[in-house]
Each structure stands twice: as C-alpha cells, then as structure tokens.
DNA sequence: GTTAATTTTTAGGTTTGTCTAAACTTTTTG
DNA sequence: CAAAAAGTTTAGACAAACCTAAAAATTAAC
C-alpha cells in the first residue's frame, strides 16, 4: 500500500518525526514553530493526517505518528539525506548549502528513483551533516555520538554530526571554522551559563555557548 | 530579474513554447489538449501570465510568449533535458522512462543547481531522445535532422531524434526495436496513406505509419 | 449574408493549504 | 480552588488552480 502524499503532508510528517525523537508527544505550538505556520493551520492538517491514519490525534492532547506515518516520514528523510549526499559529493556543493536544495528534491519522484540514486552513490551510510541515511527498507543505523555540551574535558574529539541546519547556525560554524571532521578538545565548562572553552584544531582557543554546543555532536578520536 | 514561477505556470510556458515551434500562434484548445485541461482553465491562466508580462494575449486571437516568457520556457527545457541525461546516463534508467521523472525534477531548485549539474555531466549537448540541451545562457543549438516521413529511399539512415515522449508512442518503438542510434533504410513509400516499408538494422522489414514516421528523425550515415 | 458550428470566455463552484479572530480547554498561579 | 495565562480548536476568509455550464465571439456553411 503505497499512496501518494502532498508536499505539505510530507513536510508535516517529517517534522513530526524529528520532534518525536526529542519528545514522545508533539504539541501544536511546537510544530507550528518548526514549520513556520500558525497553530490553527496545524490543527487543520492534524485532522487530515488523522483521517488518513497517519497519526494518532486526540484534540488538546498532542499527537504522535502511526506506524504508517513513521514509514512515510523515514522515507522522506531517506530521500532528503541521499540528495544531500549527492549534492555535496557529486555536484560539489558546500556542506552548508545542501539542506535547502534537498528540501525540494525530497518530494520528487518514485521509490525506484531513490533506490537507483542510492545504488549510484554506493549506498552511503551518512549524509554530509553526519546523520544516518535510512536504507531501502526504512532501517536507520543510529550513531553513537554525544553532544559537545556533555563531552568530557581534555579529551581529543572529532565533530561527526551537526543537528541544526538553519542558516543562522551554519553561519556561526563557518565563522568559527567548525565542520564535520574538525578536531576539538574541551578545556573548561563554565557552570554559570554552560558555555565551553574549546581548543580548535589543536591550535587556538574559543568559547562556544551552550545552545550552540548542543547541536554539535562529537566522537572520541 | 529572476522571479519565481509556480510549477503550473512553468508547465504552461514550456508547453506554449513547444506548440509555438509548430505554429507561430497558439490557440486555447490546442493548449488545453496538450495540458490535459479544460479550455476554461487555459483562459484563466492566460490572464495571469499576461498580467505578469510572460505572454502577449488578445482575447479570441490566441497568444505567444514574450521575450521573458521565452527565457523562462527555455530554462525549464534546459532543466528537463539535463535531468533526463542524468537519469539515463548516471542512474541507468531506460531512455523511455526518463521523461516522466524529468517532468517533476525540472521544477526544482536554483540556477546554480542546474549549472553545477550541467558541469558534472560534462556539458552534454543532446538529451537521450536526441533533443538539444540549451546552454546556461539559453542558447539552443538546433539539429540538422529530418523526419523519417520525408527521408529519401534506399539510403542508410540512423535514428537521431524522437519527438514524441508519450507512453503510447514509446511503446510502439520498443515493440518494433527502434531507438536512438538504430540503423534504417526506407525501401518504399505508399502514396495511399504515406506509410513506409522500412528495413530495420539491415535485417527484417516492417511497415511504419505516417503519423509514427513523423516523430522519428534521422540523419544519413 | 444570415444561420449554424466551433471556439473562447465568463460566471460561479470545488479543493488544498493557508490565514485571522474569536471561542474553548487545560494549566498555572496566588 | 477560582481567576488568569497559556495553549488549542473552531469559524469564516482567501488565493491558486482547477472544474462545469452558460454566454459571447469568431468562423464556416448554405
């Protein structure tokens, strides 16, 4: 059973999936915020997705994806990440430019197109931001990385995932010379505001705020 | 000045451009036919495109693209043909499958995306159906090929362009073993209905109707 | 050169996805 | 635990892109 969903419906499902990872039940306002829409619009769409059995919805009590809703969401995420990989790897787009383009490409074409693209790219396992790419059956291999904000002191680390693709966020990273693969070491954590003093590329020191460090994920080297 | 147009507007412009090649002025019914829409819908859109200065429109007297309308149409055709080339060359789709997918992909992304794709593909000059791909500045290099229906008798020919991408048409070609590059020789033209007796691949004989032969374009070998 | 046929346009309606403003629940707070 | 605040839903509107049915303009036919 492989129905077709509108761009809008697909975006709602994808966004709900991401929000669910942080918080089991998703609220109307949280979704409105993420989608840059008004709460009333969210309620409208919830009724439609609910009628299509893509999510469980009880008025005033939030909502969560059904099995089918999850399946569709993961499919969109697969498309998104494969296109990001293609744009970065083959077309040589900067890793901070690919997100916006992939937002459009993810809604195009058939399953066959995506499976052929996957094969052409050599079945990559991570996108340019370090996020895992679901396979053709919808399986996601989670990464064992932790946010920089919780990393131990004086331990050599490598950035392996960036979990915020907003223009504003990527702008900070570019200015500070941070990207996937950059080597780091946390020298001090300030208890007052959670900010970190970090040594970048075994060279200069800089300070990263807590909200920033939460979206930078690292692995020990 | 690089405004954004809706998928629908882009499809109208592209289709008008194609119809204009055959007939200088395009009529409401002809466009309705090509777009699988009702004449009333065409009139609605004509008013909109006219207001945006994309075409010249005088009620009851047909319409033709403005300079800007032509520019946009050629841009969509460039996108379409580049994606077709990508799908066929890189993802190994059959040359008869690429049209439908390219109809979706052509509306996606920025000029930068298409220019990078063009570069990645090595600036191809023809799509998998033998149609020329406009360059980044909108220049189209026309092909010197002629329809099989007008080809001379007993002269070795090669199919170099297919000018109908409908499912029904491509189905005939597949069944008769005809594709870009196939070698042909016209043995006889029947005056009664314009049908052709053709020798295919210097092997078997077959008969092709005139409407069919009009969409097969050949070059002498 | 009227009448008939064809083509095109207008008028009014539908669906999808959005919005604002008002009403209604739930949660928080003194 | 009642009143205020916060969050959510309903009601009604709007734009885009279609549609059908009826009216108007053009073209063809006798």
- Please list, in sequence order, all residues whose beta carbon lies within 8 angstroms of the beta carbon of residue B20, skipping any fewer than 6 positions away: B26, B64, B65
Supply the DSSP string of chain B, one letter for each residue: ------HHHHHHHHHHHHHHHHSSSB-HHHHHHHHT--HHHHHHHHHHHHHTTSEEE-TTS-EEE-HHHHHHHHHHHHHHHHHHHHHHHTS---TTTHHHHHHHHTTSS-HHHHHHHHHHTT--SB-TTSPBPP-TT--------EEGGGPPSS--EEEEEE----HHHHHHHHHHT--TT-EEEEEEE-TTT--EEEEETTS-EEEE-HHHHTTEEEEE-
Is B44 (CB) below 7 Å from strand C?
yes
Whether pLDDT at A1 is above 70:
no
Residue A108 to residue B104, Cβ atoms within 8 A:
yes
Residue of B nearest to A102 (CA): B109
Please list, in sequence order, all residues whose beta carbon lies within 8 angstroms of the beta carbon of residue B143, skipping any fewer than 6 positions away.
Answer: B126, B130, B131, B132, B160, B161, B217
Asked if strand C comes closer than 7 Å to A127 Cβ, the answer is: no
Cβ atoms within 10 Å, residue B130 = 19
Confidence band, pLDDT 50/70/90 cuts, at residue B2? low
For residue A160, give the H/E element and its range.
Answer: strand A157-162
Is residue A148 classed as helix, strand or coil in its secondary structure?
helix
In this prediction, residue B16 carries a pLDDT of 97
- Among A89, A88, A114, A111, residue whose Cα is nearest residue A99: A88
Q: Using 50, 70 and 90 to split pLDDT, how confident is the model at A221?
A: confident
B121 touches chain A (CB under 8 A): no
Q: A113 and B90: CB-CB below 8 Å?
A: no
Which chain B residue is nearest to residue A118, measuring alpha carbons? B91
How many residues in chain A?
Answer: 221
Tokens 């975006």: give the residue: A11
**Which pLDDT score, from 0 to 100, does residue A165 have?**
85
Q: Quick one: average pLDDT of A137-158?
A: 92
Give the number of residues written for chain B: 221
pLDDT tens per residue, range B7-33 = 999 999 999 999 999 888 899 999 999
Nearest to A91 among B93, B101, B117 (CB): B117
Among the ranges given (A29-33, A100-104, B168-172), the one the predictor scored with the smallest mean pLDDT: B168-172
* Residue of chain B nearest A90, judged by CA positions: B120
Chain B partners within 8 Å of A117 (Cβ): 91
| Alpha-carbon distance B74 to nearest alpha carbon in chain A (angstroms) | 21
> Can you give the pTM of this predicted structure?
0.86
* pLDDT, tens only, B149-187: 999 999 999 999 998 888 889 899 999 999 999 999 999
Cα–Cα distance measured from residue A84 to residue A92, given in angstroms and rounded to the nearest whole number: 11
Looking at residue A22, its pLDDT comes to 86
Cα A33 off chain centre by: 16
Contacts of A89 (CB under 8 A, 6+ apart): A121, A124, A128
Tell me the chain B residues in contact with residue A93 when contact means C-beta distances shorter than 8 Å: 116
Q: What is the pLDDT of residues B63-99, one digit of tens each?
A: 999 999 999 999 999 999 999 999 999 999 998 899 9
Using alpha carbons only, what angle is made at residue A204 by residues A201 and A207, rounded to the nearest 5 degrees? 100
3-state secondary structure B127-139: CCCCCECCCCCCC
Q: Tens of pLDDT along B101-128?
A: 999 999 998 999 999 999 999 999 999 9
- Checking if the pLDDT of A115 tops 60, the result is yes
Supply the Cα-derived Rg of chain B in whole angstroms: 19
What local confidence, expressed as pLDDT, does residue A60 receive? 94
Say if residue A205's pLDDT is above 60. yes
Contact residues, chain B, for A88 at CB < 8 Å = none
């Amino acid at each position: 059973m492989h129905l077709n969903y509108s761009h809008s419906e697909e975006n709602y499902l994808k966004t709900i999936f991401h929000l669910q990872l942080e918080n089991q039940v998703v609220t109307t306002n949280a979704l409105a915020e993420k989608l840059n829409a008004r709460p009333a619009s969210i309620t409208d769409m919830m009724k439609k997705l609910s009628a299509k059995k893509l999510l469980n919805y009880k008025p005033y009590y939030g909502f969560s994806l059904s099995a089918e809703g999850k399946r569709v969401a993961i499919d969109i995420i697969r498309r998104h990440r494969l296109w990001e990989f293609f744009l970065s790897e083959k077309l040589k787009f900067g890793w901070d430019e690919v997100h916006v383009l992939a937002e459009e490409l993810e809604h195009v074409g058939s399953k066959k197109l995506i499976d052929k693209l996957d094969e052409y790219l050599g079945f990559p396992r991570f996108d340019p931001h370090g996020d895992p790419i679901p396979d053709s059956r919808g399986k996601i291999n989670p990464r064992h990385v932790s946010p920089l904000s919780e990393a131990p002191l004086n331990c050599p680390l490598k950035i392996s995932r960036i979990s915020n693709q907003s223009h504003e966020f990527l702008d900070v990273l570019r200015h500070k010379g941070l990207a996937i693969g950059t080597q780091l070491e946390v020298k001090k954590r300030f208890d007052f505001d959670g900010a970190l003093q970090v040594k970048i590329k075994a060279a200069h020191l800089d300070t990263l705020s807590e909200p920033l460090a939460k979206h930078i994920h690292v692995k020990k080297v």
